[in-house]
Amino acid sequence: MKAFASRIFLAACLLLLASVAASAQVLPPLSLWKNDKGSLLTLVPLGGTSVGGVFTNFARGFGCQGIPYPVAGTVLPNGAITFQVNFTGCNTVTTWRGRVMGRRMPTRWILIYNGRRMTGADLFTMQ
């Protein structure tokens, strides 16, 4: 019985280690992404689930183009990612939710501009 319990314990430890290793591999220490609208995003894991970076908007029809803004968000070991940018020069806050899948990251976003809400999707590709 004791041997069985210690095997279960060992298996649990291995599972834990595997999930820690997996979370470390979701994002490299620094990654550059471009979305289907030409906007650029750098992501930097900050420890735990936190992620930071910089977003520069180049999407046609939107404001605040070519200006780098800070990114704050989280990424989970399963690749689920959420990040937010406050475009202070445009009174806009955008929140993206998606999943890191290797070098691709499909996302959906919600943009709030002066109390108005707009939604869409961005597909990011790691450069």
Segment interacting with ligand BTN, rule: CB under 6 A, options 9-17, 23-31, 61-69, 71-79: 61-69
Single out the residue of 116, 98, 19, 119 nearest to residue 51, CA to CA: 98
Q: Is 33 in the site for ligand BTN (CB under 6 A)?
A: no
Q: Give the residue with the Cβ less far from ligand BTN, 62 or 80.
A: 62
Q: With 0-12 CB in 10 A as exposed, 13-18 as middle and 19+ as buried, what is 124?
A: buried
Question: Taking the complex as a whole, how short is the minimal distance between the CB of residue 113 and ligand BTN, in angstroms?
Answer: 5
Which of 45, 51, 71, 87 is in the footprint of ligand BTN by CB under 6 A?
87
Q: Give ∠ CA 75-61-87 in degrees, rounded to 5.
A: 45
DSSP code of residue 14: H
What is the contact surface with ligand BTN in residues (CB under 6 A)?
A: 35, 37, 39, 57, 59, 62-64, 87, 90, 92, 94, 109, 111, 113, 120, 122
